[in-house]
Chains A and B, each alone.
Chain A
Amino acid sequence: MISLKDLMQPHRVVMMLVFAGIVIWCAIALRWDWIPKYAPLALEGLWATVWILAVSTFLGFLLAVPLGLAQAVGPWYLSIPARTFCTIIRGTPLLLQIWLLYYGLGSLFPQFPWIRSSELWPYLRQAWPYAVLALTLSYAGYEGEVMRGAFSGVAKGQLEAAKSFGMPRFTMFRRIWLPQAVRNVLPTLGGETILQLKATPLVATITVMEIYAVSSRVRADTFIVYEPLLLLALVYMGIAGVISLAFRRLEKG
């Protein structure tokens, strides 16, 4: 953390004054009168962004653990599919994956009558399930690779010690292997979660109304170009800051 003494160096004070000047100029010279009208929509969008981020990282991590395990110690019939999955996800752009799932699956599903008549159909007609699915798979692909390194990085002696105590395999995994692996990669996971946050605006291209989509709508409605984008950048920096603080807390605790 930066201490107050560090901040109070002369050149930093000058820079902060310049920065404050820019902020004040922005507040006065640029147009902000659209904010009250769009505030409720923006809050909804912010909620959608945070929700999609939280759900996709959580599910993606759950998927990444078996993927990493399969690659680290699994037999070939598990490790080869897991590695192929990770390579494909990491080798193609996320935007393409999102569009493949949304337009591809979205055009495939209506051809089957039993899907149309199923309980799930009202959800499958919306965009967000595809967004969550694409982001989850993407996070799982990247984290599967990270978890592979993490699982093979845990010291062999510890696992052997657990085995020699007669610990069942699942208990060993739950108590020793997983916690140590996760602890070792927490800084990486923090960085990857921020990357995931930066990937969320892509789902706006398939009509999910998250915060980026709200800013595009403001731009389209009012023809104001810079103000919504600057505010949007600030919002994302805020969320990224919260994520990195949370992970720093986790690493300490």
Chain B
Amino acid sequence: MTGLLELLGLGASAELLSLSGWGGNLLRGLANSLQIAFGAFGLGLVIGLFGAYGKLYGGKVTRDLLAIYTTVIRAVPELVLILILYYVGSDIINKISAAMGGGRVEINGVAAGIWVLGVVQGAYATEVLRGAIKAVPTGQIEAAKSYGMPAFMIMRRVTIPAMMSFAVPGLANLWLIATKDTALLAVVGFNELTLETRQAASSTRAYFTFFLAAGFLYLMVTLCSGAVFARVEKWARRGQPSLKGGAR
């Protein structure tokens, strides 16, 4: 293995990327990134589910407020939103802590990242889930209602399973956006993969080695998630006629 790498002239790169060297830092950064992406995606799904229900069945005011939320979030760059939400979040927490007689609170980077990206993801998830819920035939929901099912049970037993197959492609896209948006947190100084990479690159001056390695890690995450989501979609579409041959 080492001989082969030496032969290719990559011996120095392999040494730089070894786990005891900077490679370990990169992997720690990747773990942080994935943690934030999972949390943000989950928070976004929760916000999106409430948002979609609010947009479809809510009152006039709820609907208008949600329209403002999704429009504003989708028109302003994530980087700007991240800064605004970060400052707002830390200000609110410090005000609460001051009101309860505590001092300044040091905010956990992962939690802040999840909160910030989750709010952004929520806006996109609202639109994805709204479209998916609308695609569920109304007859199914009416049938459930006529059986006297409570609203929450309808959501759990009918709407969510039936909308899954429509929602999965959009949600897969959102997950990919979430993993890539974690890189933006580098700008506010969270130690995720991109920032770790930059620190490693600038202290060793081996820019190409580290940026290419990080790109490879991101690409692996993307490709693996693609494979996972393909299976999830297959599972969500089970029992439904295949789409192949129809559209394309």
| A residues lining the B interface (CB < 8 Å) | 9, 11-12, 15, 87-88, 90-97, 99-100, 103-104, 107-108, 152, 194, 197-202, 205, 212, 225-226, 229-230, 232-233, 236-237, 240-241
Contacts and interface: CB of A to CB of B under 8 A. Distances in A.
A194 B75 contact: yes
Interface in B69-88: 72, 74-81, 83-84, 87
B79 A201 contact: yes
Interface string B208-227: 10011011001100110000
Nearest to B212: A100
B187 A96 contact: no
B244 to A, nearest CB: 15
Contacts of B187: 95, 202, 205
Given A11-B61, A233-B84, A93 B183 contact: yes
The secondary-structure label for the interface of chain B is: helix
B84 A226 contact: yes
Interface residues of B, number: 41
Residue of A9, A197, A226, A233 with most partner-chain B CB within 10 A: A233
B156 interface: no
A100 B208 contact: yes
Given A11-B60, A94-B180, A107-B207, 19 more contacts: A11-B61, A15-B65, A87-B219, A92-B222, A93-B183, A95-B186, A96-B211, A96-B215, A108-B207, A152-B248, A197-B77, A198-B77, A199-B77, A202-B79, A233-B72, A233-B76, A233-B80, A237-B72, A241-B75
Interface of B: 60-61, 64-65, 72, 74-81, 83-84, 87, 176, 180-184, 186-187, 194, 197-198, 201-202, 205, 207-208, 211-212, 214-215, 218-219, 222-223, 248
A237 B223 contact: no
B219 A88 contact: yes
A103 B215 contact: no
Contact of B78 (A90, A91, A198): A198
9 contacts: A9-B60, A11-B60, A15-B61, A91-B219, A99-B211, A103-B201, A103-B202, A103-B211, A229-B80
Contacts of B83: 229
Residue of A88, A96, A226, A229 with most partner-chain B CB within 10 A: A96
Given A91-B223, A199-B77, A100 B211 contact: yes
Contacts of A87: 219, 223
A152 B247 CA distance: 11
B218 A92 contact: yes
A198 B212 CA distance: 24
Contacts of B211: 96, 99-100, 103-104
